[in-house]
Amino acid sequence: MELHGKRIALGVTGGIAAYKAAELVRQLIREGASVQVAMTDAATRFVTPVTFQALSGRPVFTDQWDARIGNNMAHIDLSREADALLVAPASADFLARIAHGLADDLLSTLVLARDCPLLVAPAMNRQMWENPATQRNIATLRGDGIAILGPGCGDQACGESGLGRMLEPDELVAALIAHFQPKLLAGCRLLLTAGPTFEAIDPVRGITNLSSGRMGYAIARAAREAGAEVTLVSGPVALPCPPGVTRIAVTSAQQMREAVLQRAGENDVFVGVAAVADYRPASPATRKIKKDGGAPSPIELVANPDILAEVAALPVPPLCVGFAAESHDLHDYAEKKRRAKKIPLIVGNLISDGFGGDDNTLILFDDEGQHPLPTAPKIELARRLVARIATLLEKR
C-alpha cells in the first residue's frame, strides 16, 4: 500500500498500449491509490470507459462539456483533486499538443489547467519516437519540468522492435511511488555493493556466502527515489536492476574491489552491503577437479580484501556505511566492526530476522548510539536508512 491515500488522475490517449492502462489502474488501486480516469476520444476506440469505471470504481470523463460536474469545469476540478496526473499511454500527437500548450479536448485542457505534477509515459512506433519533431517535443516537456517515464524497448504492435513501448504497469507504479518520496539525496552520488561474491575452486565449484541481494537492491532503489545518482556493484543475484540505477555486474571479491576503488573517489556515499566471501582459493584449478576415489586434495585459502576498510582509509573518503549480519551477539560485533573500520555508521541484523526474505529487522549503530528499526519490508527499512544517511551528510 505504498500509494495509500494518494489521488491519481490517469489520462489515457489513443494507442494499442491503452489496454495496459487497465492493468495499471488495477495495480494503482492495489497500492492504495484512488484513480480518476480521463480519456481522449481516440482512447475509447481501444478500451471502453466502462472498463476503467469498473476497475476504478469511479465515473470516467471523456468530454470537456460533461455536465456531471456542477460547474461544468472538469478540467479544473479533476486536477485540483489530484496529487499527480499521469498520462499513460501518451501518444506522439498528444505529446506534441501539450508541448505547444494546445487545449482542445478534456485531457489536454486538464494538462494545461493542472496544479499538480505531470508525468507522461510515451507509447508509439520506434520511428515516431526517433523522429526529430518528437524529440524536440520531449526536450520541451522535460524543460517544463514534466517527468518522462520511458519509453521501453522491445516488440511493438506493428511488428517492429525498438524504443517506443510504453513501460509496463508495474514499472509505472514504481515510478509513481518514487515520485512521492522526499528527495533527501538530491545531487548526491552514491556507490554501493550488493549480493554475494563467488570465489572459484575450479570452473564449476566455488566458495560463496548466502545472500539474495534484496537488501542492497532495496537501498539502491530507495537512494535513487531520494534523488541520488546511484551506482550498484552487484555480485551474482537473480534480481532486476532498480530503474535509474547503473549496475556493474561482478563475480569475485577482487572484481568487486576493483570496480569499487575505481569509483569510490567520485562518490559522496559508499554503502557496503555485499556479503563478500572472506577467503578464496589460492590457486583455482583450470579444469574440473575429478573424484578419483581417494582423499580430497586440500584447498589452500587466502584472505579476500576488506573493501569497506580500504574505501574508509582513502585520503578523502566518502561517507561510509557498513553492514554486519551476525548469528549472535549482534550489538558487540557490529559496534566493534564499526570502530575497527573507523566508519560513521554500520547497519546490523541477525540472520534469523530476515535472511533472504522480504522483511528484515535492523539496528543502526553510529556515534550517537543504537537506533533500532522495527521489522518491516526491506524497501521501508532502506528508506529509513537513506534518511539517516542524509542526516549524516548534512553534519559532515
Q: Do 7-179 and 189-395 come out as alike in CATH topology?
A: yes
Question: Tens of pLDDT along 368-391?
Answer: 888 999 889 999 999 999 999 999
Q: State how far the alpha carbon of 13 is from the alpha carbons of 156, 280, 366, in Å.
A: 17, 56, 51
- Average pLDDT estimate for 112-123: 94
Does 353 score more than 70 pLDDT?
Answer: no
Classify domain 7-179 at the CATH superfamily level.
Flavin prenyltransferase-like (3.40.50.1950)
Question: Which cell goes with 264?
Answer: 569510490
| Average of per-residue pLDDT values in the chain | 91
Beta-carbon-side half-sphere exposure of residue 391 (alpha carbons within 13 Å): 11
Residues in a beta bridge with 85: 9, 118
Residue 210: the pLDDT is 85
Question: Tens of pLDDT along 305-319?
Answer: 999 999 999 999 999
Q: How far apart are CA 34 and CA 4, in angstroms?
A: 8
Question: Which cell goes with 378?
Answer: 526491506
Let me know: does 25 contact 65? Beta carbons within 8 Å.
no
Of 176, 182, 181, nearest to 86 by C-alpha is: 176
Q: How confident is the model at residue 76 (pLDDT cuts 50, 70, 90)?
A: low
Residue 328: the pLDDT is 87
Residue 112: the pLDDT is 92
The yes or no reply on domain 189-395 and CATH 1.10.3720.10 is no
Does 223 score more than 90 pLDDT?
Answer: yes
Tell me which residues are annotated as active site. Answer: 158
Enumerate the domain spans of the chain: 7-179, 189-395
Question: Which cell goes with 363?
Answer: 539496528
Of 212, 147, 214, 142, nearest to 177 by C-alpha is: 147
